Amino acid sequence: MSLNILREQIIALEMGRNERRVLPFGLSVIDDALQGGLDIGAMHEFSGPAAALFAQLIVQRKGGNTFWLVNERLNEEYYPPALAQYGGKAEQFIMLRLQNMQDLLSAAYEVLASNAAGCVLLEVQRPLNQIQARKLQIAVQNTDTLGLIINAGYARNRHMTHEGLLGSTVTRWHAEVLNWSQEKTQIGLHLEKNRRGSPRHWTVEIDHATHHLHLATLSGERTGDPPQPGFVEQALCADHA
């Protein structure tokens, strides 16, 4: 048995399944850092102004139906048709707007465990506790579903305290837009937690025509003029579609 096969089996056992399955990004530097790609049958957390945009790229790569669970008290609603620029299709999304966190989590547990969706995207405004996060991981671990959590309460400042950030997720990402044009969006991508390796940082570009991810630079330096504050949120909301 090779060392790589042994590592794959160990990871699979950690995830509570017999065989590890991953979703590659198609970009070798990121896939290598994750030992192949994002773990399927696992929870992953996203924060930052471009969190929804980056999660949408993953949804597009995974395929299948996506359940998008949000609290109905939110003033803004991400509008799936506005995400077509990044490969999304309106009919791919099933939006559930629920009254409170308890209902939101109950729906998330049920949909994750059903293995009926390609992705389940859960948007939260306040941190989940470890019991809630662990239940999500248990619900998804024997499925072919990706569990994606957008932590909107941690969206603005990646240097804020890490209190409440989820310890049960396999990866945690912070995404921010560095530059935007009609042809591409440049993102600063911070892999802050990586159960498969060490934290990393890349500057990547999303091609609007192909929806592919390309490496822009490894220096971490921003290029071009940054978008105005709130640009990404406005672009993805129903009022601006």
> Which domains are present in the chain?
28-240 (3.40.50.300)
Percent of the chain with pLDDT strictly greater than 70 = 69
Q: What is residue 221's predicted lDDT score, i.e. its pLDDT?
A: 42
Three-state SS at 80: helix
- Judged against a pLDDT cut of 50, whether residue 228 lies above it is answered with no
pLDDT band at 210 (very low <50, low <70, confident <90, very high): confident
Query: For 138-167, how does the pLDDT look when each residue is reduced to its tens digit (9 = 90+)?
Result: 999 999 999 999 988 765 545 444 444 556
> What pTM value is reported for the model?
0.80
Percent of the chain with pLDDT strictly greater than 90 = 49
Query: For 15-57, how does the pLDDT look when each residue is reduced to its tens digit (9 = 90+)?
Result: 555 678 999 999 999 999 999 999 999 999 999 999 988 998 9
Name which of 176, 189, 193, 150 is nearest 229 in CA terms.
176
What average pLDDT does the chain have? 80
Is pLDDT larger for residue 1 or for residue 105? Answer: 105
- Judged against a pLDDT cut of 50, whether residue 105 lies above it is answered with yes
Helices (H), the chain: 3-14, 28-33, 51-62, 101-114, 130-140, 231-235
Report yes or no: 187 and 50 within 8 Å, Cβ to Cβ. Answer: yes
CA 13 to chain centre: 23
Q: Which of 108-117, 129-138, 224-233 has the lowest mean pLDDT?
A: 224-233
Query: For 63-79, how does the pLDDT look when each residue is reduced to its tens digit (9 = 90+)?
Result: 999 999 998 766 555 55
Query: For 183-198, how does the pLDDT look when each residue is reduced to its tens digit (9 = 90+)?
Result: 899 999 999 999 989 9
Residue for token pair 């044009």: 181
pLDDT band at 99 (very low <50, low <70, confident <90, very high): confident
Q: Are strands 146-151 and 42-47 parallel, antiparallel or unpaired?
A: parallel
Q: What is residue 219's predicted lDDT score, i.e. its pLDDT?
A: 47
